[in-house]
Amino acid sequence: MRYFVAVAEELHFGRAATRLHMSQPPLSRAIKQLETEVGAALFERSSAGVTLTAVGAVLLDEARALLAQADRVRVRVAAAAGAATLTVGILGDSADPGATRLARAYHRRHPRVEVRVRETDLPDPTCGLHAGLVDVALTRGPFDETGLSVRELRVDPVGALLRADDPLARRSGLKLADLADRRWFRFPEGTDPRWQAYWNGGALRDGPVVRAVQECQQAVLWNGTVGMTLQHHEPAEGLTVVPLIDMPPSRVLAAWNEGDTNPLIRSFVQIATAAYREVSAGTP
């Protein structure tokens, strides 16, 4: 059923195999076996792609309900044994409306699960996943995804964080070239190079070392350095954010250890996907 749902949601055997962390041939064989047991084709396969048949559409609804029930059984049994806990790592922005909506929705779905939150500083975008400190992380990319599974939840445009009296603060938009000769805040030595490069606009920069969002703002306020932040973040008094028009947006991600089959994590990712989608739809 999980194989079938993956193919039905991706409508692509290759992407479904990647999502399931398996090769494509055994996935295709499993789907053919399921079609034999059902006695009908579940997918239409053509050069244009893969689509669900009418039978497949009915089975998809039933399969999702069965899998959700199976997850609930495992969670309830774990709760009865006093073992239902989930440790969530959050990257320095627990006030995100998506996270707030997710917390409410997750509690409604799993009221007996104890959720432990570990808020981490900016130099660790995996929020302790690689160290085994958390089960799942709400974070941002990019970072080294080796050994991890990720699900994109939202993208946010970014801007340059400047002092309000900076001459560039009067611009309606900036390019990275406008900031090439400026000092930027940066993260400590040993920070994931992909993460460091993104928040430094793709280049090596010189400037003060910071570890938390407040330190980033203070570095700009006191030293006149610049850096990147999210366009929708409300800066501290004396600071402003100017859109960066040639930087790709920041990706909000759910991340967890590859191969972890904990149903609490799977449910967390599903609920997070819906929660962030609803917030994004309602955000100007």
Q: Would you state the structure tokens that stand for residue 208, as one six-digit string?
A: 């003060």
| Closest to 34 (Cα-Cα) out of 53, 15, 14 | 53
Query: In this structure, are 128 and 168 located in the same domain?
Result: no
Query: In this structure, are 91 and 147 located in the same domain?
Result: yes
**CA–CA–CA angle 270, 272, 275 (5° rounding):** 115
Query: In this structure, are 73 and 20 located in the same domain?
Result: yes
Let me know: does 264 contact 86? Beta carbons within 8 Å: yes
Query: In this structure, are 115 and 136 located in the same domain?
Result: yes
Q: Would you state the structure tokens that stand for residue 179, as one six-digit string?
A: 């900031």
Q: Which of 56, 78, 100 is the last residue of a domain?
A: 78
Query: Residue 136 — φ and ψ, nearest 5°?
Result: -150, 150
120: CB partners within 8 A, 6+ apart? 89, 90, 91, 92, 127, 128
What is the domain-level CATH number for residue 17?
1.10.10.10
Which residue positions in the chain have pLDDT lower than 50?
281-284
pLDDT of 282? 45
pLDDT of 262? 84
Query: In this structure, are 162 and 151 located in the same domain?
Result: no
246: CB partners within 8 A, 6+ apart? 175, 176
CA dist 247 and 241 (Å) reads 14
Q: Is 201 exposed, middle or buried (0-12, 13-18, 19+ CB in 10 A)?
A: buried
Pairing of strands 158-163, 49-52: unpaired
Query: In this structure, are 141 and 181 located in the same domain?
Result: no
The structural domain count of the chain equals 3
Query: In this structure, are 162 and 145 located in the same domain?
Result: no
Let me know: does 271 contact 164? Beta carbons within 8 Å: no
191: CB partners within 8 A, 6+ apart? 123
Query: In this structure, are 47 and 172 located in the same domain?
Result: no
CA dist 187 and 111 (Å) reads 38
Query: In this structure, are 136 and 264 located in the same domain?
Result: yes
Let me know: does 195 contact 187? Beta carbons within 8 Å: yes
Query: Residue 211 — φ and ψ, nearest 5°?
Result: -130, -20
pLDDT of 233? 82
**Residue 113: domain span:** 84-155+250-282
pLDDT of 82? 55
Query: In this structure, are 237 and 266 located in the same domain?
Result: no
Query: In this structure, are 188 and 256 located in the same domain?
Result: no
Tell me the pLDDT of the chain averaged across its residues. Answer: 88
What is the domain-level CATH number for residue 278?
3.40.190.10
Query: In this structure, are 135 and 266 located in the same domain?
Result: yes
